[in-house]
Structure 1
Amino acid sequence: MNCEDKAHAPQLHKYSYLKCKYAYLRMTTSARPSFDWSLVRSFLAVLDHGSLLGAAKVLHTSQPTLGRHIAELESQLGVVLFERTGRGLVPTATALKLADAARGMADGADRLARTLAGAQAKNTGTVRITASTPVAVQILPPILSQMRQALPDIQVELVASNTVSNLLRREADIAVRMVRPEQGTLVAKKIGDVKLGAFANRAYLARRSPIRQPMDLLGHTLIGSDTDTAILNGFRAMGFPASKDLFAFRTDDFIVQWQAVRAGLGIGFLASYMARTDADVVQVLPDVLRIPPLPMWLAVHREIRTSKLIRSVYDFLAGALPDAI
């Protein structure tokens, strides 16, 4: 007899009906597919990056693997989490509702991982560092070479990216940033100020008109960013009605900007530590053109600092970086 059929319910003794009802609910619960919590990490990566490709790069796995994870999670939950479109994966309303709970689970897993990391007794293992591309290319290699001599048992993974990696989700252990982290659970130490200036190759300056004041820059070939507005904002602060058309050559890659300056393409706005590596590149209007410096911060998770491994690398970088900028 079907306990859910209300037409039969009056024919059952009250005790028998409740017993039967309980058995039905227990059977329904056990029949549901078990929920695999390990799929949450894949779900959050796809949610944050909007595509299987972006999530795969962050998690160091393949798109097909992530596709299977999402399909399996949707099957286990019995819901649709993403709509497939030509522009990527668009989260459904259900996915957005689940996001906060999923992030809570991920944060709990990260706290567990940090606790285990803090229990490390040996100064061996791998430390993941993230830094902007110019810092990763120009500043860190000599420092890491010195650190290799001092801490030979530590391996380093260096993420060169101008995007801010999330230390809370263990995308990196230590971050070298030009902005101070706002998360209260991070420890940030100011390393120093990175001096900025306008620079050009001597050969370029020799064939162009002299530059005696900032206004003269408008008559020269300028190198700047495509979508980043930092340099434009600097010109506007000096009173110039600047738009990105001001730059004859535009790229958001600072290393490409640097190489364009070295090649004599025009005048670029760079960190002084880069210009020091090429004697043919000189600063333009060093005593007149004042560009506010950028602060450099060394950030690490508060709990991770209890790890001897992470602490060793953090302390080494904190001691070496000030002299390099």
Structure 2
Amino acid sequence: MVFRSAPLAHRTIRLVPGIALCLAIGAVSVAVGAVAPVVGTAIPAIALGVAVAAIRRPGPGVQPGVAFSSKWLLQAAVVLLGAHLSLQDVLAVGAESLPVMLSTLTVCLLAARGLGRAMRIDGRLRTLIGVGTGICGASAIAAVAPVIAATSGEIAYAVSTIFVFNIAAAVAFPLLGHALGLDAHTFGLLAGTAINDTSSVIAAATTFGAGALGFAVVVKLVRTLMILPISVGLALRQPRDSEASLLRRPWRIVTLVPWFIVGFTVMVLANSAGLIAPGVRGAMLFGSGVLIAVALAGIGLSTDLAAIRRAGWRPLALGAVLSLLVTATAVGALAVTGLRG
């Protein structure tokens, strides 16, 4: 037992420096948000992280904890947010967002295929950028990459491209929402359907104001489930004897469901059943806010300017056009369906 626990203890110790750095940046961002509520905590956390990474990119001693914070702590924050919502809320918001969500996803995938081909971008790379923009950023890219047998270079280019527009969306969308005169509910629908990564959805909704975060997260998680039909559809286009084909390993479909969606659903069900006391619920929501600040600091620290430069202008141009198309489609669909506040 001692020998088994030693590697776990070693891995845990390796996380400490990076987590400590993210905590420090997160604490500063929380202080900024307390002094200037209009600024919030999300944007300062990302901005400070990006600034630190630009001055000196986190080295091997810090990187494991930064990666842990940006991924696992953010996902834990999403799970805790489920304690604030009821099953009725989730079902209502999910159903309400479907027309907008399906419109943006359809436009994005068709445009990625057509524009990407016209711009002479490799088929696998344009598919990765399309699903990353249309569904849920790096998570969708990671899920789809083995299905289409994408190379590590293509994955890196796609993730770098998507990252640029994650950061831009976190800053631009609250401004857009206020310019359009949207209420918190409608902004949550817009952010959840038009911003590609969960972290940026949370950052934008937190910055916009109270009431938007819960709606935005629900919409985003429903949108994330689109990984399943898209992955299956792409798998059906692969040769049956391909090593990456889901048809050879259909059980892998289950593994495409992110664990934090399951955890979020469990929290929603527990809250709906009255199993979470009000005091506990308040503590969980506070904890979620702290984890969000720390995780967004980690995302800012993960900025790799060299990788973005290596991606070249074509993938970045495609990502920019797709992001603008998705945003325009979402705003248009909100207006057509009468959901715009």
TM-score by length of 1: 0.25
Q: Going by fraction, where is helix more abundant, 1 or 2?
A: 2
TM-score by length of 2: 0.24
Higher relative contact order (CA 8 A, sep 6+): 2
Q: Going by fraction, where is strand more abundant, 1 or 2?
A: 1
